[in-house]
């Protein structure tokens, strides 16, 4: 009876939520145990002893997740998480992105400049310390100033003089605060990646879709100094010795099996109001889709015409395309699932609850009205704000590069010491080298021209950046003439011109430069989008609404929105019904790779060697009980961007796959979780190891791993 009392109330929300890994409570752990977990909470997260958390790593500050899989610091993550690194190490003559790469020894592993991997050391609840002197009667500006000062103080203390990286994070919209302490390693090397025809099989067509046949994995390694501590790259560094690593489970999964993911989900907005949903549906999402669609078409035209440009822009294209398709799917999901109506129902229930108590009326009575007023006030400029970011600031790489240069140059010119000024300017060369490495002037010119025309056609004159007035006044509205002049005269459009300017910086030349004008104008317009007088009240209203919701439903456990901190999500390997008469199995096999094969289509190329291996059914110990090689499987786990590369783990703590995507029918999941539809797409670890061993010739890597009995 007691077990039923504890278990039944959990059923409605068990799978929903990206739970803070340090705060698993007894009810959650009990349910996980009932579903098949065999680990204690201490074995999942511990400060003093080795635990699962010590095998989960944050890549580049939270862009992706990875997992330690050997006692020599080997990391598995997604192919698309290492895409930039693979691209940067590739050349037209040695195109590792297209052909793949596999180091046969430590000596062949390739250093990845600028790549960082962080381990979570501990999590601290600092809510009381942060809010102890905050008073209810404080103005929002004073409240935030006090909170920020306290957070900074706590971060500095926890960093121990630079030994650790420390993030202080707000949860539940300023109602709780936690400190995350990390140890970061900087000597990271590429160990191997499959050819793009495996790692990106299906391309944009299959992105976010199920069934899936993508071998989305890559392998990197952490190196440390003689004391196993973080160090800059050195040939004397040794493979990192981890506190914990994940063994491989090559027995496979069956429907209903327990599965969990630990990783670093980036951002969700599960408390978004109905007015926020409507603004996304009607204004911001369509604008983002429109801009990115044009950007993709323009880039692809140049990429298809020149293999060198294709290589330079491959990562940029993939990044742009990923969330272009995501927002298309999100709008479809929000509409199909009537998320707007469900949010309204929740808000009505909240209003009824507030109205029944005078104390609640005093504390929460204005919360929803403030949120509503904010969205009504911002609807008029929401589309313009998207354009300021997507078409103005980050649309073309040159615009963002110009802003970054202007920030450096302005700082340098404020310096009266000549040597210090020169040092500041010299520091920009690293940014410059990175920019021009993946830069094609013709492509940039075309992207900038097309997005500027779209910007001018869709946004009112009053909402355009100041530099567009120059097009009207000096170029009679001719965008192409303006862009042509800019590329002919700006010192930012080529590495040689920039280096010449840095050697002899000139304030007048800088002030007249059209690219500088665009970069500074873009950031000014984007920053202006945040200068909303309703923002302060909105922040208060949101904080109170979330606080009130949790108070209204004390029996319901709310997971905090994702914010690039380590989370755990758990559930089952599970099929789903995508639509009427459309029932999807929980796994795919290599048969599907061959069914989709179309070597005339770059997205569905199957190399002859891979095709021959599949046709021979040379699957060995990696085959399932039916003799098939499983490629991917799905589970009802709750993830989002940042979880890419996260380990999918069985009940005993073994690796069964690597998470890499969500399904199209549940693209609204970042705003509203739908347990019947939401699935995480995972590349099966058996397919990963088979590709490494049979296709890539990485027997040395396969032998390095540990296997569960």
* Contact of 581 with 662, CB cutoff 8 Å: no
CB atoms within 10 A of CB 365: 15
Spot the catalytic one: 644, 650, 661, 670: 644
Task: Please confirm, yes or no, whether 357 is among the known catalytic residues.
Answer: no
How far apart CA 404 and CA 388 sit, in angstroms, is 16
How far apart CA 211 and CA 582 sit, in angstroms, is 12
Residue 450 CB burial class (10 angstroms; 0-12, 13-18, ≥19)? buried
* Contact of 350 with 545, CB cutoff 8 Å: yes
- The number of residues in the chain equals 709
What is the full DSSP assignment across 624-685?
Answer: -TTS--EEEEEE-----TT-TTPEEE-TTS-EEEEEEEE-GGGGGGGTS--TTT--EEEEEH
* Contact of 215 with 631, CB cutoff 8 Å: yes
CB atoms within 10 A of CB 478: 13
Task: Please confirm, yes or no, whether 80 is among the known catalytic residues.
Answer: yes
| Nearest 10 degrees: Cα torsion 373, 377, 379, 381 | -160
Kindly state the DSSP code that residue 557 receives in the 8-state scheme.
P
How far apart CA 489 and CA 516 sit, in angstroms, is 11
User: Helix H segments across 2-124?
Assistant: 2-7, 26-35, 41-44, 83-89, 96-99
CB atoms within 10 A of CB 225: 15
**Nearest alpha-carbon partner for 433 in 496, 491, 488, 490:** 496
Task: Please confirm, yes or no, whether 670 is among the known catalytic residues.
Answer: no
CB atoms within 10 A of CB 8: 9
Spot the catalytic one: 216, 397, 636, 650: 216
Kindly state the DSSP code that residue 228 receives in the 8-state scheme.
S
Spot the catalytic one: 80, 213, 302, 440: 80
* Contact of 114 with 89, CB cutoff 8 Å: no
The 3-state DSSP class for residue 55 equals: helix
Residues that are catalytic: 80, 216, 644
């Amino acid at each position: 009876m007691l077990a039923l009392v504890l278990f039944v109330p959990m059923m409605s929300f068990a799978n929903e939520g990206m739970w803070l890994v340090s705060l698993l409570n007894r009810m959650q752990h009990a349910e996980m145990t009932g579903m098949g977990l065999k680990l204690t909470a201490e074995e999942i997260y511990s400060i003093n002893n080795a635990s699962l958390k010590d095998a989960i790593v944050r890549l580049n500050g939270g862009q992706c997740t990875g997992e330690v899989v050997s006692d020599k610091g080997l990391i598995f993550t997604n192919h698309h998480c290492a895409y930039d690194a693979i691209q940067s190490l590739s050349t037209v003559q040695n195109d590792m992105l297209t052909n793949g790469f596999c180091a046969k020894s430590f000596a062949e592993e390739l250093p990845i400049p600028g790549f960082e991997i962080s381990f979570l050391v501990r999590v601290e609840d600092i809510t009381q310390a942060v809010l102890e002197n905050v008073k209810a009667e404080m103005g929002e500006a004073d409240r935030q100033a006090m909170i920020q000062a306290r957070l900074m103080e706590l971060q500095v203390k926890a960093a121990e003089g630079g030994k650790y990286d420390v993030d202080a994070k707000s949860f539940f919209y300023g109602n709780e605060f936690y400190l995350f302490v990390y140890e970061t390693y900087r000597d990271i090397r590429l160990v191997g990646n499959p050819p793009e025809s495996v790692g990106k099989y299906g391309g944009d067509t299959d992105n976010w879709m199920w069934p899936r046949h993508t071998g989305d994995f890559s392998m990197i390694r952490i190196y440390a100094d003689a004391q196993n501590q973080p160090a800059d790259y050195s040939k004397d560094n040794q493979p990192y010795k981890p506190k914990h690593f994940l063994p491989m489970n090559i027995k496979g999964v069956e429907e209903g099996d327990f599965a969990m993911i630990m990783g670093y989900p980036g951002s969700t907005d599960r408390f978004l109001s109905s007015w926020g949903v409507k603004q996304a549906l009607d204004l911001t999402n369509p604008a983002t889709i429109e801009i990115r669609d044009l950007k993709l078409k323009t880039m692809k035209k140049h990429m298809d015409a020149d293999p060198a440009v294709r290589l330079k822009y491959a990562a940029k294209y993939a990044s742009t395309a990923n969330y272009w398709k995501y927002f298309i799917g999100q709008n479809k999901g929000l509409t199909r699932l009537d998320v707007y109506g469900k949010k309204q129902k929740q808000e009505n229930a909240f209003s009824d609850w507030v109205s029944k108590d005078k104390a609640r009326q005093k504390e929460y009575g204005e919360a929803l009205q403030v949120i509503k007023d904010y969205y009504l006030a911002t609807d008029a400029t929401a589309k313009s704000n998207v354009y300021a970011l997507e078409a103005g600031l980050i649309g073309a790489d040159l615009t963002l590069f110009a802003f970054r240069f202007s920030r450096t140059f302005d700082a340098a010119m404020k310096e009266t010491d000549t040597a210090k000024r020169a040092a500041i300017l010299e520091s920009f060369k690293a940014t410059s080298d990175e920019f021009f490495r993946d830069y094609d002037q013709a492509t940039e010119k075309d992207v900038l021209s097309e997005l500027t025309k779209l910007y001018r056609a869709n946004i009112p004159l009053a909402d355009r950046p100041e530099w567009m007035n120059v097009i009207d006044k000096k170029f009679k509205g001719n965008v192409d003439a303006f862009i042509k002049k800019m590329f002919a005269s700006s010192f930012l459009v080529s590495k040689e011109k920039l280096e010449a300017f840095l050697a002899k910086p000139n304030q007048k030349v800088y002030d007249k430069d059209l690219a500088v004008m665009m970069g500074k104008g873009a950031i000014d317009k984007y920053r202006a989008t945040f200068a909303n007088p309703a923002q302060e009240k909105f922040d208060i209203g949101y904080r109170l609404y979330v606080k009130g919701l949790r108070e209204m439903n004390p029996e319901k456990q709310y997971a905090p929105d994702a914010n690039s901190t380590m989370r755990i999500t758990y559930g089952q390997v599970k099929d789903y019904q995508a639509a009427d008469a459309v029932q999807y199995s929980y796994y795919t096999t290599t048969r599907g790779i061959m069914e989709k094969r179309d070597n005339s289509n770059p997205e569905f190329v199957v190399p002859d060697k891979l095709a021959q291996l599949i046709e021979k059914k040379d699957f060995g110990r990696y085959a399932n009980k039916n003799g098939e090689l499983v490629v991917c499987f799905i589970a009802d786990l709750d993830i989002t961007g940042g979880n890419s590369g996260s380990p999918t783990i069985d009940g005993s703590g073994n690796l069964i796959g690597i998470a890499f995507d969500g399904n199209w029918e549940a693209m609204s999941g970042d705003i509203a979780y739908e347990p019947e539809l939401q699935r995480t797409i995972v590349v099966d670890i058996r397919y990963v190891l088979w590709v490494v061993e049979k296709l890539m010739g990485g027997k040395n890597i396969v032998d390095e791993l540990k296997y569960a009995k």
